[in-house]
Amino acid sequence: MSTFVQLHMLIPYPPSNPNRDDLGRPKTAVMGDAERLRISSQCLKRAWRESEVFEEAAKGHMGTRTKHVGDVVKRKLLDMKVKESLADKCAKGIAEVFGKLGSESKSEDNADKKTKKNDLVLKQLAHISPEEWASIDALIAGIAKTGNEPGEQDLLLLRKDNKAVDIALFGRMLADVPKYNCEAAAQVAHAITVHKVAVEDDFFTAVDDLNMGEEDVGAGHMGVVEFGAGLFYLYICINKTLLVENLQGDSDLANNGMAALVEAAATVAPSGKQNSFASRTRALYVLAEKGSQQPRSLAAAFLKPVAGADQLDTAIKALREMKDKMDKAYSKTDDGKICDERCEMSVTEGQGKLADITTFVTGA
């Protein structure tokens, strides 16, 4: 039976635009007949993976998401004085292990910017583990030494037994070689505001420092940036049993990964428009739960948008009430619980510390 760890966080964002759509607007969603700000799970996971928190906790156990494995291989072979024709052929062979080749790239040699095929670039991103990079490097060294193309057995580079923490947590999908896919042990919901919002416009101008105003006294540049602000609810579910399995039974590494995820989720904000808004923020409330029962989000606590000046306290109360009501409705035991254990941190109430949450989670 799997052990699940669930995290419920309330995180305030001042005026900001950390996650934009294709038009540059803050992402939104409609819930409870009200527009909410939204930060996508993809954006959040990227920010966490790239953080110093993860780098320190999972040093030597982080994968690389890239389409450019072929370019990397060719460059390394050329640095080892391998002939370009052989380097190109070997780079293609190695890259094809991780997916189909032929991504389109823009040509800068002409005015109409026609697209052309780059035969060394994958069509889709591949998540490559440190163990797989080590196998690639060993194969490159062998090619440089012998001057021979790799054989079929040499190209068995993909590993099911890798120990990349980010792959174990967030999964891997290789469309062309599905047997090396990895099911994500962590599920991350899109963060949404607990209240209705209005996306606003920031009209700005920039001054030309060398314009003396002799001919033109106007601004050197004008523009508009859209932004929003709000209190976000974030839900994360981690299958601890699957995480340990994904990491080849390494419980210590799994705990390091979970601790990094907890700290990053509570302290690391996406980098979008940070120079414009400095929207560095931290979670003000965290509820952690663990047990073998079926996980569930508490987002329903905010189907009715939170209103009023005291939104944080109201949101905390709504979360606790929804938790208790779901316990009562779904519990199969006399104690009325649907989670074995819980731990809370509330900054404004002076309750708990993030270290308590981390210790609780890794002790699952």
Q: What is the pLDDT of residue 82?
A: 96
User: Do residues 249 and 29 touch, judged by C-beta distance below 8 A?
Assistant: no
Dihedral of the alpha carbons of 92, 96, 98, 100, in degrees to the nearest 10: 120
Per-residue pLDDT of 196-249, as tens digits, reads: 999 999 898 888 888 877 777 777 888 899 999 999 999 999 999 999 999 999
Q: What is the pLDDT of residue 210?
A: 84
Which H or E run contains 329? Answer: helix 311-330
Q: What is the pLDDT of residue 119?
A: 84
Dihedral (CA of 328, 332, 333, 339) sign? negative
285 DSSP β-pair partners? 10, 346
Q: What is the pLDDT of residue 187?
A: 97
Q: What is the pLDDT of residue 333?
A: 72
pTM above 0.85, yes or no: yes
118 DSSP β-pair partners? 103
Residues 6+ away with beta carbon under 8 Å from 356: 343, 345
Q: What is the pLDDT of residue 115?
A: 60
Assigned token pair, 165:
């923490």
What b-and-e string marks burial along 181-218, b requiring 16 or more CB atoms within 10 Å of the CB?
ebebbbbbbbbbbbbbbeeeeeeeeeeeeeeeeeeeee
Side-chain half-sphere of 197: how many Cα atoms within 13 Å? 25
DSSP annotation string for 212-273: -SSS--S-SEEEEEEEEEEEEEEEEEEEHHHHHHHTTT-HHHHHHHHHHHHHHHHH----TT
206 DSSP β-pair partners? 221
Q: What is the pLDDT of residue 109?
A: 53
Q: What is the pLDDT of residue 37?
A: 97
Q: What is the pLDDT of residue 233?
A: 98
Q: What is the pLDDT of residue 335?
A: 65
In 3-state terms, what secondary structure has residue 343? Answer: strand
Per-residue model confidence as pLDDT tens for the chain (364 residues): 789 999 999 999 999 999 999 999 999 999 999 999 999 999 999 999 999 999 999 899 999 999 999 999 999 999 999 999 999 999 999 999 999 998 655 555 554 556 666 789 999 999 999 999 999 999 999 999 999 999 999 999 999 899 999 999 999 999 888 999 999 999 999 999 999 999 999 898 888 888 877 777 777 888 899 999 999 999 999 999 999 999 999 999 999 999 999 999 999 999 999 999 999 999 999 999 999 989 999 999 999 999 999 999 999 999 999 999 999 898 877 666 666 899 999 999 999 999 999 999 998 5
User: Do residues 57 and 308 touch, judged by C-beta distance below 8 A?
Assistant: no
- Residue 317 CA, distance from chain mean position: 29
Residues 6+ away with beta carbon under 8 Å from 342: 287, 288, 289, 290
> DSSP code of 315?
H
Output the CA–CA distances (angstroms, integers) from residue 180 to 97, 125, 140, 156, 168, in the order listed.
11, 14, 22, 12, 12
